């Protein structure tokens, strides 16, 4: 189901996937292994390179903005990185960490923050793989991770991935429900890390215009108002895909709303959004093919 005309661009994009094909890909991936089914990933990337003109144009516009090559090969590599992270979710959800070389940076600062109070918020974006962070958290009892997310735009993929590991859905807190904030608060009190992706709004959300890769872009304020309401420290997060079987997780202190008074919230939120956009741009420049917003992100 596609969103209405008033919805943001990413919600108006129909989910281009078919359940039988997804089930076949999962079955082949689990039976034949990651290495033997990488050709499927390349085929999917080639399909989108050839037959998805809007996504292809968005890829080229972003790659140009970040200062990377913009030809057909560059676009293919961009789609291939995205397809690779989706493919790897199959194995990460199965706990097959042995298949990957995963570096984690920033856990010292994270544990130091957690030592003073339980739970904190992780702010990421559609940059790299959140699944690699969530899966590593599931594999280490000291870092349980839950996700506040709008799941409807990838309902088919999430349905298939739930069949791989049904317990994974317990780590999802759906946005847009009355109980969402209460559940997030309870998870934080239990010491869980609660993540949000803060680069896309749901439509009708207030935004802040700030510089992103040299051009003004609108970032939603909703995630930051949630952080201010929950009064928790916020870390920036990203799980960069570096090619092959390599991932690198970065965790950085970003903001702390635990002691911000009500009258100071808007200024604190504005500063946090600016800082977030700066760090997002920083990691886009480090690993350009990890940006997975295939629409005009800078549209007015």
Residue 270 domain flag: yes
Q: Of 226, 168, 177, 163, which Cα lies nearest the Cα of 197?
A: 226
Q: Average pLDDT of the chain?
A: 87
Kindly tell me if the per-residue pLDDT of 11 is higher than 50: no
Report yes or no: 230 and 121 within 8 Å, Cβ to Cβ: yes
pLDDT tens-place string over residues 118-153 = 899 999 999 999 889 877 776 655 678 888 877 665
Residue 34 domain flag: no
Kindly tell me if the per-residue pLDDT of 15 is higher than 50: no
Kindly tell me if the per-residue pLDDT of 252 is higher than 60: yes
Residue 248 domain flag: yes
Q: Please calculate the CA angle 128-226-252 and round it to the nearest 5 degrees.
A: 40
Range from 86-100, 139-153, 167-181, 271-285 that averages highest in pLDDT: 271-285
pLDDT tens-place string over residues 195-232 = 999 998 766 779 999 999 999 999 999 999 999 999 99
Report yes or no: 129 and 239 within 8 Å, Cβ to Cβ: yes
Report yes or no: 87 and 37 within 8 Å, Cβ to Cβ: yes
User: Percent of the chain at pLDDT above 90?
Assistant: 65
Residues 68, 49: Cα–Cα separation, whole Å = 17
How large is the average pLDDT for residues 18-26? 76
Kindly tell me if the per-residue pLDDT of 58 is higher than 80: yes
Residues 6 or more apart whose Cβ sits within 8 Å of residue 262: none
Residue 197 domain flag: yes
CB environment 148-187: b (16+ within 10 A), e (fewer): bbbbebeeebbebbeebbeebeebebebeeeeeeeebbeb
* pTM tops 0.75: yes
Name the domain count of the chain.
1
Report yes or no: 202 and 270 within 8 Å, Cβ to Cβ: no
Residue 196 domain flag: yes
Kindly tell me if the per-residue pLDDT of 48 is higher than 90: yes
Residues 256, 224: Cα–Cα separation, whole Å = 11
What pLDDT score was predicted for residue 229?
Answer: 93
Higher pLDDT, 238 or 18: 238
Per-residue DSSP letters for 111-137?
HHHHTTSS-EEEEE-SBB-HHHHHHHH
Residue 230, token pair as written in the block: 């929950």
Residue 142 domain flag: yes
**Residue 145 C-alpha from the chain's centroid:** 13
Q: Which domain holds residue 203?
A: 99-290
Residue 17, token pair as written in the block: 């996937």
Residue 194 domain flag: yes
Report yes or no: 78 and 48 within 8 Å, Cβ to Cβ: no
What pLDDT score was predicted for residue 179?
Answer: 84
pLDDT tens-place string over residues 85-99 = 999 989 998 888 899
Residue 222 domain flag: yes
């Amino acid at each position: 189901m596609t969103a209405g005309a008033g919805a943001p661009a990413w919600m108006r994009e129909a989910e281009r996937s078919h359940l039988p094909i997804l089930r076949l890909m999962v079955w082949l991936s689990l039976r034949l292994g990651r290495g033997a089914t990488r050709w499927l990933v390349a085929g999917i990337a080639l399909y989108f390179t050839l037959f998805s003109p809007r996504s292809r144009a968005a890829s080229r516009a972003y790659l140009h903005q970040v200062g990377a090559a913009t030809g057909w090969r560059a676009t293919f590599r961009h789609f291939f990185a995205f397809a690779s992270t989706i493919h790897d979710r199959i194995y990460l959800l199965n706990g097959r960490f042995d298949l990957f070389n995963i570096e984690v940076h920033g856990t010292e600062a994270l544990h130091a923050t957690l030592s003073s109070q339980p739970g904190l918020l992780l702010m990421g974006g559609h940059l790299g793989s959140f699944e690699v962070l969530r899966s590593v958290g599931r594999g280490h009892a000291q870092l349980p991770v839950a996700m506040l997310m709008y799941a409807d735009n990838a309902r088919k993929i999430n349905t298939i991935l739930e069949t791989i590991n049904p317990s994974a859905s317990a780590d999802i807190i759906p946005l847009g429900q009355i109980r969402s904030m209460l559940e997030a608060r309870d998870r934080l009190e239990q010491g869980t890390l609660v993540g949000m992706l803060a680069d896309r709004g749901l439509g009708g959300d207030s935004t802040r215009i700030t510089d992103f890769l040299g051009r003004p872009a609108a970032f939603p304020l909703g995630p930051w108002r949630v952080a201010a309401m929950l009064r928790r420290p916020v870390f920036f997060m990203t799980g960069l895909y570096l090619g092959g079987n390599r991932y690198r997780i970065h965790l950085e202190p970003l903001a702390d709303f635990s002691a911000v008074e009500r009258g100071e919230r808007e200024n604190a939120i504005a500063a946090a959004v600016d800082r977030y956009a700066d760090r997002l741009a920083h990691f886009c420049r480090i690993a350009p093919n990890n940006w997975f917003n295939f629409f005009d992100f800078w549209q007015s």
